[in-house]
Chain A
């Protein structure tokens, strides 16, 4: 392996990795918000909106991120909706991730026995207080493993961003392979940088999971 080559391109990869992290972070944050909103709508059985949410979830889960991005980036401008590549990446990730997050929250809420809710009511708590103090904290800790898995899944999905010419890690690697044929070094840097992003998330994720599992679970 060509050490000089590796040294030379570390800054370029770092920049690309920062872009991946930035878009990933914003997209995932948006996805979590969308997921929470969707689950709230489903939980309170809000008419009409509830239908829209279930259609959205089906569409989002049954199509690949790549075509979602192509449609947002190349298709939508034709009818006057224009976004730059970064915005488009965030939007795509949020559109895809929102449904996964919603499902994770839903499984958490569904795992709570109805009688927990009833026992909160029987103590005289209002519906809002019941959600806030009794249901939500439990739902979040039950959903945690799924939420963490989704975060990792979505971070990995960011690898397709190069398709809409975002200069992320994949873009950089492909570019260098095409330009200099330093395939081994380029791929090596690619793997190392993805590990630098994904390993800490994965480790922190399992720590959080373990913590939640020990914090007062099992009735």
Chain B
């Protein structure tokens, strides 16, 4: 099997007294797309935030290419540069144009040449259909355009892994597709990704592996078709049931 990019072992995360993640281990290989699904508030987003050391962890270890990621790591900036993260509410910098948003980290944090970064940023923007928006400010964009910009911003850092934290949750339904298509495109290009989402159809389409997560633990993981068609655990069955609706016609009151 290909190289291991991300290795999480026995991760423990506690908020005050509440355990959010309990003894979680997960490995992501190069080129793999892992989709995490599960009920709201089960700790999926917290997991992504831990991987980026935005949260302190109470136990276990997170390794990126063999280097430990933690809030105390000396080379935290460099490690973070290898992890691209896209947030639910885009978090573009409102005082910068689209192009400046994309160029900021490669130029300032990675110290790359401005002209070279600019060329790449424009190419990436073109790839997601935003070449005409390079000089616009975030407030002039639609939600879908903002999120595509945020993805480009993460991509332009040449990350070894991309983290997507419910990136379509704040979008109008008609904009969801344009963002998901970008992510599918990246998957086809062989990017390593860890995706948290509530879009089940998309999860099935994009994932190499589905991780079902509940109460801070991995309950079940499997290939997408297997998971969606034949879930093994009761919790997973219950969860998948919440996405189907049926009306019991026999008791309809016709008065």
Contacts and interface: CB of A to CB of B under 8 A. Distances in A.
Classify A-B as touching or not with yes or no (CB < 8 A): yes
Interface of A: 113, 115-116, 118-126, 129, 133-134, 137-138, 141, 215-219
B48 to A, nearest CB: 10
14 contacts: A118-B91, A119-B87, A120-B93, A121-B52, A122-B54, A123-B80, A123-B109, A124-B77, A124-B109, A124-B157, A126-B77, A133-B108, A216-B97, A218-B94
Contacts of B104: 123, 125, 133-134
Contacts of A141: 95
A116 B95 CA distance: 12
Interface residues of B, number: 33
Interface of B: 49, 52, 54, 77-85, 87, 89-97, 104-105, 108-110, 137-139, 153-154, 157
A82 to B, nearest CB: 46
Chain A, interface SS category: helix
A212 to B, nearest CB: 9
Nearest to B51: A122
Given A124-B80, A133-B108, 6 more contacts: A118-B91, A121-B54, A124-B109, A134-B104, A216-B138, A219-B92
B109 A215 contact: no
Contact of B90 (A125, A137, A218, A219): A219
B77 A125 contact: yes
Nearest to A135: B93
A145 to B, nearest CB: 16
A215 B82 CA distance: 31
Given A122-B80, A122-B83, A123-B80, A138 B108 contact: no
